[in-house]
Amino acid sequence: MVVPLGGIAATTDNTAPFHFPNLYSRHGAVKLILLLIIVYLAYRAAKSWVMRHLQAPGPNDSRHPSIDDVMIKDPECGIYFPQREGVELKRDGETLLFCSTACRDGYTEKQKRD
């Protein structure tokens, strides 16, 4: 038996060398492609949201915390430390900051010897 299919004649017996897909399977493929496109777009939207809201702020981000203290160099041992944690020594109208009392005491001992 010959059934016209969109201008193409196709037979319904299984002995034919070629089998033309029917129109219903084409609609299924279109639905599958549309579903894949929707899933991909949803994935991209979710990824974009996560990147904006859940990552740590970068150095150029306006939400980046500002620096609340300055690092200074100890004049005795040469290491850097936060200025607010420094040990003060006032000498000749000048204020020197040290990383510890041991460095401050070592500096004053050197100054007494010189």
Amino acid (1-letter code) at residue 47 = K
Q: Report the pLDDT value the prediction gives residue 113, as an integer from 0 to 100.
A: 86
**pLDDT tens for each residue of 6-53:** 555 555 555 555 555 554 567 788 888 999 999 999 999 999 888 887
Q: Report the pLDDT value the prediction gives residue 78, as an integer from 0 to 100.
A: 92
Q: Which two tokens stand for residue 88?
A: 């003060």
Has residue 68 got a pLDDT over 80? no
The C-alpha atoms of residue 101 and residue 73 are separated, in whole angstroms, by 15
Has residue 59 got a pLDDT over 90? no
- Which residue do the tokens 């859940």 mark? 54
The proportion of the chain whose per-residue pLDDT surpasses 70, expressed as a percent, equals 66
